């Protein structure tokens, strides 16, 4: 296990300072997290050989994260994860305008959102890290002073448990998510095509050429999006399908079966024997097959990352919900509390 020194991430940002924090359980599962962007830097789990594997892509020092061309490796995304069409929404007949950082649309709340700010340290114990952030009114164009906390916990069940909480003093939209790029293979320079994936979702949201959801919902049956039974990520990734061509692979929101806390996905690597189970209370799951991964700068352990060298399973509400009355609402009103939970549990497939 190659842990990074906290000094690699220590820097002053005005009155705030960044650092690196390590949490672990009694089994040796270990995570390193920086309060710059509330970012998961490394996550060590045991493989079938009994040796530790770091299963997320990332960098060894803060300077690389600040100049990275993959701006979301391991980040906490907010105020709004995913896309908002035309970079605007309306609340109580008032239009709020956001940054256009994805063509004419807004992606992940803008270029200077939660993934680039210094979060405040609340508590740090052996297995738990709690960070908080006060997002001021109209930061990124979003209304309301939003107080946010995120708790990272390594459980004795070998899970990374991520819990979010937020309150506001004015009606706003909130949709937080975690954006790690996972690769469960022994060799992180190998693509993730051979991973076996199952998603408990019978339908997904088709997108237009600008990756905004269209006006209809499509069943996954008889499409490349059918992961109801385990299949290789790469099995249909190059299939002659309009949706696959638009995104260059998978970059779509699945409408998950069930409600409240439940298992929504599982993925495993034949090479390492590692299986990851995703549990959440969210209605959607964005599956991104890492279609566009830059290796500038070079990744951890001097590894050169490649396209489809990592995948994302982001639990969240649906993209463009602020502009879609037919989607589950992401509105948070003053006096109400936003909560969300995502758990990544790791085990060995014999």
pLDDT value of position 190: 87
The residues facing 274 across adjacent strands are 348
pTM over 0.75: yes
CA distance linking residue 55 with residue 44, whole number of Å: 6
Please, what is the average pLDDT of the chain?
96
Position 183 in a domain: yes
pLDDT value of position 69: 73
Residues that are catalytic: 179, 314
Query: Quick one: average pLDDT of 263-269?
Result: 98
pLDDT, tens digit (0-9, with 9 covering 90-100), for 178-225: 999 999 999 888 899 999 999 999 999 999 999 999 999 999 999 999
| Residue matched to tokens 């008889």 | 222
pLDDT value of position 244: 95
Position 247 in a domain: yes
pLDDT, tens digit (0-9, with 9 covering 90-100), for 6-20: 999 999 999 999 999
Position 1 in a domain: no
pLDDT value of position 215: 93
Position 127 in a domain: yes
pLDDT value of position 188: 82
pLDDT, tens digit (0-9, with 9 covering 90-100), for 24-81: 999 999 999 999 999 999 999 999 999 999 999 999 999 999 988 766 999 999 999 9
Handedness of CA 290, 307, 162, 91 (dihedral sign): negative
Contact 76, 160 (CB under 8 A): no
pLDDT, tens digit (0-9, with 9 covering 90-100), for 97-147: 999 999 999 999 999 999 999 999 999 999 999 999 999 999 999 999 999
**Given the DSSP bridges, would you call strands 331-332 and 172-173 parallel, antiparallel or unpaired?**
antiparallel
Residue 233 has pLDDT above 80, yes or no: yes
Residue 268 has pLDDT above 70, yes or no: yes
Position 69 in a domain: yes
Residue 294 has pLDDT above 80, yes or no: no
Position 106 in a domain: yes
Q: Quote the longest CA-to-CA distance of the chain.
A: 59
CATH number, position 121: 2.70.98.10
Percent of the chain with pLDDT over 70: 99
Q: Please give the residue range of the domain that contains residue 75.
A: 6-348
Query: Quick one: average pLDDT of 217-246?
Result: 96
CA distance linking residue 287 with residue 298, whole number of Å: 24
Smallest CA-to-CA distance from 37 within 141, 142, 152, 158 is with 152
Q: With cut-offs at 50, 70 and 90, classify the pLDDT of residue 295.
A: low
pLDDT value of position 350: 65
Helix/strand/coil (H/E/C) assignment for every residue in the chain:
CCCCCHHHHCEEECCEEECEEEEECCCCCEEEEECECCEEEEEEEECCCCCEEECECCCCCHHHHHHCCCCCCCEEECCECCEEHHHEEEECCEEEECCCCECCEEECCCCCCHHHCECEEEEECCCEEEEEEEECCCHHHCCCCEEEEEEEEECCCCEEEEEEEEEECCCEECECEEECCECCCCCCCCCCCCCEEEECCCEECCECCCCCECCCCEECCCCCCCCCCCEECCCCCCCCCHHHHHHCCCEEEEECCCCCCEEEEEEECCCCCEEEEEEECCCEEEEECCCCCCCCCCCHHHCCCCCCCCEEEEEECCCCHHHCCCCCCCEECCCCCEEEEEEEEEEECC
* Count of the separate structural domains present in the chain: 1
Handedness of CA 210, 318, 162, 156 (dihedral sign): negative
Percent of the chain with pLDDT over 90: 93
Query: Quick one: average pLDDT of 276-300?
Result: 92
Contact 87, 97 (CB under 8 A): yes
């Amino acid at each position: 296990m190659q842990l990074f020194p906290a000094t690699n991430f220590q820097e002053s940002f005005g009155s705030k300072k960044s650092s690196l924090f390590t949490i672990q359980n009694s089994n040796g599962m270990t995570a390193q997290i920086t309060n710059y962007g509330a970012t998961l830097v490394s996550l060590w789990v045991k493989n079938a050989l009994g040796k530790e594997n770091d299963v997320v892509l990332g960098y060894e020092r803060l300077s690389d994260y600040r100049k990275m061309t993959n701006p979301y490796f391991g980040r906490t995304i907010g105020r709004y994860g995913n896309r908002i069409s035309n970079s605007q929404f309306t609340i109580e007949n008032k239009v709020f305008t956001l940054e256009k950082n994805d063509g004419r649309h807004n992606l992940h709340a803008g270029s200077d959102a939660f993934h680039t700010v210094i979060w405040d340290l609340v508590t740090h114990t052996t297995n738990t890290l709690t960070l908080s952030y006060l997002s001021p009114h109209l930061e990124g164009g979003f209304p309301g002073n939003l107080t946010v906390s995120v708790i990272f916990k390594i459980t004795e069940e070998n899970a990374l448990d991520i819990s979010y909480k937020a309150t506001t003093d004015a009606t706003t939209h909130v949709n937080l998510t975690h954006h790690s790029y996972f690769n469960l293979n022994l060799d992180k320079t190998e693509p993730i095509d051979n991973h076996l994936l199952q998603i408990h979702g019978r339908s997904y949201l088709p997108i237009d050429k600008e990756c905004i959801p269209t006006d209809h919902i499509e069943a996954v049956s008889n499409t490349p999006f059918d992961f109801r039974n385990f299949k290789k990520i790469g099995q249909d990734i190059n299939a002659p399908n309009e949706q696959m061509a638009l995104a260059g692979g998978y970059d779509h929101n699945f409408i998950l079966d069930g409600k409240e806390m439940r298992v929504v996905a599982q993925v495993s690597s034949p090479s390492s024997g590692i299986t990851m189970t995703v549990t959440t209370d969210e209605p959607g799951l964005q599956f991104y097959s890492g279609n566009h991964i830059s290796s500038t700068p070079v990744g951890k352990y001097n590894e050169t990352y490649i396209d489809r060298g990592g995948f994302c399973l982001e639990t969240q509400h649906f993209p463009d919900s602020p502009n879609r009355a037919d989607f589950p609402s992401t509105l948070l009103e003053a006096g109400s509390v936003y909560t969300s939970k995502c758990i990544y549990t790791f085990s060995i497939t014999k």
